[in-house]
Amino acid sequence: MPQKMIVDLRSDSVTKATPEMRRAMAEAAVGDDGREGDPTAQRLEKMGAEMVGHEAGLLCTSGTMANLVALMTHLRPGEEVIAERDSHFLRFEAGGLTAIAGGFPRPLPGSAGKMDLGQMESEIQPGSRLRPRSALICLENTHNMHGGACLDVEYMRAVWEVATRHGLAVHLDGERVFNAAIALGVPVRALTEGCQSVMFGLSKGLCAPYGSLLCGGVEFVGRARAMRHRLGGNVRQIGHMAAAGIVALETMVERLAEDHANARCLAEGIKGIHPELVDMGTCHTNIVSVDTTPLDRPAPAIVAALEEKGVRGLAIDPYRLRFVTHHDVTAAQMAHALNMIREVLGA
Ligand SMILES: *Cc1c(COP(=O)(O)O)cnc(C)c1O
């Protein structure tokens, strides 16, 4: 019996290392990253930092760790972090922010990933006996829970300007910042150079098996390295993993445009079923966010029905599900997925 086709569109985190990455991992020159250093990790860190317009980089195990290390490096206990309320680090990493970094979240509502600048500015606290200082603004580009929406260069610059005026640092959760750069048609550094720290993922759309890079100035990254050590994030022969990251940056960035085209195609198809299911205004990159309220059907039930047909999506809210396109889905699989989605949503 032929095997049932499974199309996994839950996340771009399901992507597997390419044959070229596997070869590079096997052959990598390695050292001890907890002693004199690992040459391949150093190459990756330098390369990644240059791409985002910063002096230095630090390879962390995951995006969660890179964000946490950044928070620990920027914040003193009790200080406030201003961030969009649906951002990944507030929704899924709040334990690290509060219990480990000792930060206090100041969530603001946003639209397509963007907080209102006036509101942002009015929330900034100089620090007093009654309320600790606001130390950091966190942005997310692309914005995961807002359908992969991009923050454009103009918005990034406006936030840098507000932060500079009030003496705050800006950290960018740029797990998918290369998706943003490709979609906007700008060099990635235009979105990152004015931030005091930037993290980006190697293991989502870029397909490496491991890691996110945290980049910033030499002094910041030196302190961040000590924070990574505190978390037990020092990995000895990390060069094997870093080697895959180098291949990811060399070979997987430009091709993100294919994922975006696939997502657009999927979104148009879903819109054909019912025009209010997808907001094309946020469908900039590789995420298709589907609002199931017009169908009057909860997202988990739809996800379960799709699973039966071999298509995996993710319910992210009671009435919202998402599909994420990535390298490991072929054109034939995309076509199959759209047919199955039409069957289930149109039922
Ligand atoms: C996946 C993700 C992270 C966390 O990365 P992990 O490597 O899974 O820990 C952080 N921020 C965003 C926006 C993400 O999508």
Note down pLDDT in tens along the chain; length 347 residues.
566 789 999 999 999 999 999 999 999 999 999 899 999 999 999 999 999 999 999 999 999 999 999 999 999 999 999 999 999 999 999 999 999 999 999 999 999 999 999 999 999 999 999 999 999 999 999 999 999 999 999 999 999 999 999 999 999 999 999 999 999 999 999 999 999 999 999 999 999 999 999 999 999 999 999 999 999 999 999 999 999 999 999 999 999 999 999 999 999 999 999 999 999 988 999 999 999 999 999 999 999 999 999 999 999 999 999 999 999 998 889 999 999 999 999 87
Out of 69, 144, 326, mutate this one to test ligand 1's pocket (max ligand atoms within 8 Å of CB): namely 144
The dihedral through the CA atoms of 272, 274, 278, 280 has a sign that is positive
In angstroms, what is the span from residue 199 Cα to ligand 1's centroid? 10
3-state secondary structure 303-347: HHHHHHCCEECEEEECCEEEEECCCCCCHHHHHHHHHHHHHHHCC
**Residue ranges per structural domain of the chain:** 7-14+255-345, 19-251
CB 205 near ligand 1, within 6 Å: no
CB 63 near ligand 1, within 6 Å: yes
For 229-265, letters b (16+ CB in 10 Å) and e give: eeeebebebbbbbbbbbbbbbeebbeebebbbebbbb
Is this prediction's pTM over 0.75? yes
In angstroms, what is the span from residue 211 Cα to ligand 1's centroid? 10
Task: Give the integer Cα–Cα distance in Å for 10 and 337.
Answer: 12
- Mark residue 112 as left, alpha or beta (left: phi above 0; alpha: psi -120 to 50; beta: remaining): left
For the domain 19-251, what is the CATH code?
3.40.640.10
Enumerate long-range contacts of 93-101, CB under 8 Å, 24 or more apart. 93/64, 93/67, 93/68, 96/64, 96/67, 96/68, 96/71, 97/68, 97/71, 100/68, 100/72, 100/231, 101/68, 101/71, 101/72, 101/75
- Give the E-state strand segments of the chain in sequence order: 7-8, 56-60, 80-84, 104-108, 110-111, 114-115, 134-140, 169-173, 197-201, 212-216, 287-291, 311-312, 314-317, 320-324
In angstroms, what is the span from residue 135 Cα to ligand 1's centroid? 22
For the domain 7-14+255-345, what is the CATH code?
3.90.1150.10
- The reported pLDDT for the residue numbered 1 is 55
CA proximity to 157, closest of 135, 172, 143: 172
- The reported pLDDT for the residue numbered 347 is 75
CB 86 near ligand 1, within 6 Å: no
For 175-190, letters b (16+ CB in 10 Å) and e give: bbbbbbbbbbeeebbe
Residue 62 and residue 212 in contact, taking contact as beta carbons nearer than 8 Å: yes
**What Cα–Cα distance (Å) separates residue 165 from each residue in 51, 119, 123, 162, 168?**
26, 15, 14, 5, 8
CB 173 near ligand 1, within 6 Å: yes
Structure tokens belonging to residue 56:
């230095």
CB 11 near ligand 1, within 6 Å: no
Residue corresponding to tokens 């740029």: 174
CB 62 near ligand 1, within 6 Å: yes
CB 174 near ligand 1, within 6 Å: no
In angstroms, what is the span from residue 1 Cα to ligand 1's centroid? 38
Residue corresponding to tokens 């001890």: 32
The dihedral through the CA atoms of 278, 323, 110, 164 has a sign that is negative
In angstroms, what is the span from residue 272 Cα to ligand 1's centroid? 31
The type of residue at 229 is: H
Structure tokens belonging to residue 244:
């895959």
**Is there a common fold for 7-14+255-345 and 19-251?**
no
CB 141 near ligand 1, within 6 Å: no
Residue 247 and residue 231 in contact, taking contact as beta carbons nearer than 8 Å: no
- The reported pLDDT for the residue numbered 152 is 98
